[in-house]
Amino acid sequence: MPCRIFVSVIFAVLTATIPALAQDKATLRLNWQLLGFHAPFYYGVEKGYYKDEGIDLKIFEGRGGAATAQAIGAKSDTFGVVDGGTEIVSVTRGIPIETVMSVMNSGLFAVVSRKDANIRTAKDLEGKTISVTAGDALTQLFPAVISYNKLDESKIKLVNVDAASKVVAVLEKRADATLGSVDAQSFVMEAKGVPASVLSYDDLGVKLVGLGIVANMDTIKDSPDLVKRFVKATRKSFEEALKNPDAAVAAAVKVKPELDAKVLRQQMDVSLSKLESPNTKGEPIGVGSVKDWDNTVALLKKYQNLETDKTGADFFTNDYAQ
């Protein structure tokens, strides 16, 4: 047998017996059903950015930030997407999680209404009906909006519905508005031919840290390298989504074909514009600001009666994002 053929045969036999490097299996629980903000995660999976970091990632939709925080606290999932306010409340209630990546440093929460409901200012919320989902971050923090704007709570009717029915209730005029975000429900409503208006929590005086990645404290302690690799892959996913937004949207639509790609792109454009706050301008994606977190803690203590001696720095870390 010629030498070259012999060497090729031996190499083939040897490589066939060498197993592929094992991938760490991990799950990511979203804070909600798939929206534009989530598209970069699916894009990262499709492009192999997580695989390149040795992570076999599965993504699952969520049913509110509080539910996701509980899932991570119970180790039902490895990582979760949770807004800063909900994470802070969850930690003070004993859920063992921490934000390891402050992806969105400006808040997205909003009151989204039919334009014909004439909700243009905070005072216009009085006398209106708002569809909400009990237990989600938006509903938990709405009292801060009421308190900050000195509204009469008794004049605002909250109707509890499941997450999927909040917008439907507004479209069917069973509610004047819903609690949502600046990057989601208004686009869905307008795609149905219903003009919408948006009042962000920021505009209503409630400035909160936005969405971040949380992990269980045991995961952070026992698998810091996994956390570091996950953050690295997520940053690349968002960086590449900013460069190729249509490709990121397409990756998400492949997973959930019933989504409207145009609406998803509109949502993503708004959410990706919120990655920075004035305090994190110029920082890498995922780096948070102590000032922003301190402000969020202060708002929760003042308007939601949060009881904690912790400061903002106790709820997040930049160790893996810097």
- Show the domains of the chain with their CATH numbers: 24-106+208-314 (3.40.190.10), 109-200 (3.40.190.10)
Q: How is residue 83 annotated by DSSP?
A: E
**CA gyration radius, the chain:** 22
pLDDT score of 7: 45
d(CA 215, CA 218): 8
Q: Are strands 129-132 and 177-181 parallel, antiparallel or unpaired?
A: parallel
pLDDT score of 204: 92
293 has a pLDDT exceeding 50: yes
Q: pLDDT per residue over 59-106, tens digit each?
A: 999 998 889 999 999 999 999 999 999 999 999 999 999 999 999 999
Instruction: Read off the pTM.
Output: 0.82
Structure tokens at 277: 């706050």
Residue range 215-226: mean pLDDT, rounded: 98
φ and ψ of 163, to 5 deg: -55, -40
Q: Yes or no: say if 111 and 199 are a contact pair by the CB < 8 Å rule.
A: yes
278-308 burial by CB neighbour count: b if 16+ within 10 A, else e?
eebeebebbbbbeebbebbbebbeebbebee
pLDDT score of 19: 43
Three-class SS of residue 99? strand
